[in-house]
A and B are shown apart, each in its own frame.
Chain A
Amino acid sequence: MKPAARTLGSRDAYGRLSPLWIFLLRYGPPRWSEYVVQNWTGQRLVIAVPYLWLLVFFLIPFLIVLKISFAEFSPLGRPPYEPVFQWLEEGALQVKLLIGSYVYLFNEPLYVSAWFYSLKVAFFSTLFCLALGYPMAYAIARSPPTQRNVLLLLIILPFWTSFLLRVYAWVGLLKTDGLINQVLFKWFGIVDEPLAMMNTSFAVYIGIVYSYLPFMILPLYSNLEKHDNTLLEAAQDLGAGPIKSFLRVTLPLSFPGIVAGSLLVFIPAVGEYVIPSLLGRTDQLMVAKLLSDEFFLNRDWPRASAVAIAMLLLLVVPIMIFQRFQNKELQAARK
């Protein structure tokens, strides 16, 4: 499908139609010129459909969140905030922007600790995912092609089963009379008393690593699979040991995969809601839980919006890096 080249290609550097085209459109065979015009409008229509959808349902909502984050909270109102923009009777537009919600976010100790805790949990979960996922991806990439597809299928399969239920499965394993404690305490007597693992940070780490591991493995695998084996052989011929050739050849080459996988884990982990609610501490909240509590329990929409905007600002750099890598991957696939 190359209508773009056909229609756009006929324009000059300033976007003007070339004289030949203008002549043909005006005096050429009527059906043919009609076809060109229809083609161009049809193409615009095709571009417009997904564009409009995303503008209306993805971009505009963020602008609304941004607007409400500056609004004043009115607990009894429906909706519970004062209008930000208001037409006064004299025909003037009144704009009221309050930064109170934002100030609160960075002063209230509950919030500050939630921010740090979320970042810490996301960071270390990413690290653990990498430590477990990298060797796994490496082993899959090095296995014979017939096994490779089966192994990949095994990695992807849990991803297709319900995320919520997989997190829930850990409740049955981690709780005081759960499977792990039964094995360690009742059967083998390795520990003197059942371990308290539920509602701890440990459980959150387990839950996040468990749920996001496929997201780490898949980009790493697709990177490692493409590596040229002759490079490793060359390194070994030149006298590098297995560890050195790994550190000097494989690891640097797999850097894009590491970044893509890590971001795919880190970004959603910062805003993770389900895992800490089911497995996590009750005395230490993560940011997503605060946001939903502000919204559903306190009905403080401005403050919930401010949390969302702050979280977005925090994640905007990682998200943009991720997009850059994603585009590069697609361009590389094209070549």
Chain B
Amino acid sequence: MKTQGLFSKSMLGVGLAFLYIPILSMVFYSFNNSRLVTVWDSVNSPTVKWYVQLFKDRQILSAAWLSIQVAATTATGAVILGTLAGLVLSRFGPFRGRAFLQGLTTAPLVMPEVITGLSMLLLFVSLEQLFTAWFGWQFDRGFATITIAHITFTMAYVTVVVQSRLAGFDDSLEEAALDLGARPAKVFFRITVPLILPAILSGWLLAFTLSWDDLVITQFVSGPGSNTLPMVIFSRVRLGVSPVVNALATIMVLVVALGVVLSAIFMRRQEQRRKREEQMAATG
């Protein structure tokens, strides 16, 4: 046991170093004065000039704004649809087509992005043709198409999170409420939603992050003129490293780290409070 523990522990150390060194190197070099990024200019560094340049960069700023809008809309839509799907799958018992729905919700989790992107674009093109032929109405690809595509692939993640949270509770509370005469909709909003709120919140954040981060599907379904942040980043770093991107990456890493740590602390508090209340209910 001893040697085994030692081996796996050192592998854990190596793995964590492997996960974090690249991120830390990006943060480190964002303060480098040299345009060559990885050649440290020890005379004029550290400097914040790339951060200053980042906040003057119109292209990046407008792309980031579009990405935020898309991600927030996506996360909200994905949470609504994903929660419904999770609820249906874990609480509605067997109904016709249940297995099919389960398949449809888990397939996007592993589907290669190029396939999803291509199929979504071809759908939008067909819809465009239909709309112009039937109603003479033309729509442009952009915010709406990106958001629809993002909702479709992120709702699967929300479904899994909600479903596994619901699987952890039995439905006795909901049944009790139904027996006491509450209507199903009321039971859902008063009992089910508060119970799965942590799952809904983390599903929202997950959907937001996935949407914020997606490049491949977005490249397919976005129209001319609607560039999201990952598209701008990709077009810049294709030609090599860019110090402005390093600065952007540093800010994003900071925000995420802060958010994850804060939410972990928050979740822990919630859990502790819940346990205390349960104990009080049991003893009192």
A residues sitting closer than 8 Å to B (CB atoms) are 1-6, 8, 35, 39, 42-43, 46-47, 49-51, 53-55, 57-62, 64-65, 68, 79, 132-133, 135-136, 138-140, 142, 149, 151, 153-158, 160-166, 168-173, 175, 177-179, 182, 210, 213, 236, 242-243, 246, 263-264, 267-268, 270-274, 277-278, 288, 291-292, 295, 301, 304-305, 308, 311-312, 315, 318-319, 322-323, 326-327, 329-330, 333-334
Q: Give the residue name and chain of the A residue nearest to B92 (CB).
A: A4
**Closest chain B CB from A118 CB (angstroms):** 10
Q: Is residue B70 contacting chain A, with contact meaning CB distance below 8 A?
A: no
Q: In the complex, given contacts A3-B92, A157-B257, A160-B256, what are 15 additional A-B residue pairs having Cβ atoms less than 8 angstroms apart?
A: A2-B93, A39-B184, A42-B185, A50-B155, A57-B149, A136-B15, A151-B12, A153-B260, A153-B264, A160-B259, A271-B115, A274-B234, A288-B112, A305-B118, A323-B107
CB pair B241–A171 under 8 Å, yes or no, is yes
Measured CA separation A149–B2 after assembly (Å): 23
Does the CB pair B37–A213 fall under 8 Å? Answer: no
Give the residue of A172, A246, A330 whose beta carbon is less than 8 angstroms from that of B164.
A330
Interface residues of chain A: helix, strand, loop or mixed (majority): helix
Chain A nearest CB: distance from B102 CB in Å?
A: 7
Chain B, Cβ-Cβ closest to A277: B238
Q: Is the CB of A295 within 8 A of B118?
A: yes
CA distance A135 to B183 in the complex (A): 50
* CB-based contact B168/A58 at 8 Å: no
**Chain B residue total in the interface (Cβ 8 A):** 108
Whether, in the assembled complex, B69 has its beta carbon less than 8 Å from a beta carbon of chain A, the answer is no
Could you name 16 residue pairs across A and B whose Cβ atoms are closer than 8 Å? A4-B95, A8-B93, A42-B185, A50-B88, A50-B159, A53-B155, A54-B104, A54-B105, A54-B152, A58-B104, A61-B119, A158-B20, A172-B37, A173-B25, A243-B4, A323-B106
Contacts of B91 in A (CB 8 A): 1-2, 4
| Residues A132 and B101 in contact, CB atoms below 8 Å apart | no
Assess whether A50 is in contact with B85, with CB atoms less than 8 Å apart.
yes
CB interface residues, B 245-274, toward A, < 8 Å = 245-246, 248-249, 252-253, 256-257, 259-261, 264
- Could you tell me if B213 and A138 are in contact, using CB atoms closer than 8 angstroms? no
Among the listed A175, A263, A333, A334, which residue makes an inter-chain contact with B38, where contact means beta carbons less than 8 Å apart?
A: A175
**Cβ proximity bits B74-98 to A, threshold 8 Å, 1 near / 0 not:** 0000000110110110111111010
Q: With a CB–CB cut-off of 8 A, which chain A residues contact B237?
A: 164, 168, 171, 278
Cβ A47 vs Cβ B8 within 8 A: no
B133 within 8 A of A: no
Closest to B268 in A: A149
User: How many Å from the CB of B187 to the closest CB on chain A?
Assistant: 6
Write out the residue numbers on chain A whose beta carbons fall within 8 Å of the beta carbon of B108. Answer: 58
CB of B99, distance to nearest CB on chain A (Å): 9
Please list the residues of chain B having a beta carbon within 8 angstroms of any beta carbon in chain A: 1-5, 7-9, 11-12, 14-16, 18-23, 25-26, 29, 36-39, 81-82, 84-85, 87-88, 90-95, 97, 101-108, 110-115, 118-120, 122-123, 125-126, 129, 148-149, 151-152, 155, 159-160, 163-164, 167-168, 171, 174-175, 178, 183-185, 187-188, 192, 209, 212-213, 215-216, 219-220, 230, 233-234, 237-238, 240-241, 245-246, 248-249, 252-253, 256-257, 259-261, 264
Q: Which of A61, A149, A162, A291 contacts B213 (CB under 8 A)?
A: A162
Distance in angstroms from A192 CB to nearest chain B CB is: 20
CA distance A246 to B129 in the complex (A): 60
Residues of the A chain whose Cβ atoms lie less than 8 Å from the Cβ of B249: 162, 165, 168-169
State whether A61 touches B120 (Cβ < 8 A).
yes
Cβ B119 vs Cβ A161 within 8 A: no
- For residue B257, give the distance in angstroms from its CB to the closest CB of chain A: 7
